[in-house]
Amino acid sequence: MRWTIFAVLMFGTACVHASNGVWSALVLATNETPARAVPAKLEAFAPTIKKVFGYNSLYLLGDRRKEIDSGTEDWLVPSEDFFFQLTSLRREETHYAIRLELFRDKSPLLTTEVRLARNAPLYIRGPQWGAGQLILLLEIR
């Protein structure tokens, strides 16, 4: 199974200290005629997903928000099948340094270190699923 990580860098002027939460979402992206209306929670992400991944319809399969603190391990569970373990390595003025582990059921799929900053969501291309592609999102909120 091939996973691809896309970090779209759009740094804003807000700092990380305004919030210490991470939001995760599991999205099914498909091509449909006519295109399906974008769910409200995905409106900000739709243009990037359409441009980078090439899909015109999005389904929100699940999402969760979790407060995180430096040096702690936290679990984000956007769906019953996929979940993240986040270890906050550092919290800096503009970003979090996080060790990210992605699981499907109890099987680890990906381990990496990332920087999450406000207005710079992380997109992870997952496997083909049904008539589309799974995409996992992480964002500081």
pTM for the full model?
0.77
Domain that holds residue 82: 4-140
Q: What is the pLDDT of residues 47-79, one digit of tens each?
A: 999 999 999 999 999 898 888 777 778 887 777
What residue has token string 């990496």? 112
Confidence band of 1 (pLDDT split at 50, 70, 90): low
Report the b/e string of 96-120 with b at 16+ CB within 10 A. bebebbbbbeeeebbeeebbbbbeb
Number of domains in the chain: 1
Question: What pLDDT, on a 0 to 100 scale, did the predictor assign at position 39?
Answer: 97
> pLDDT at residue 33 above 90?
yes
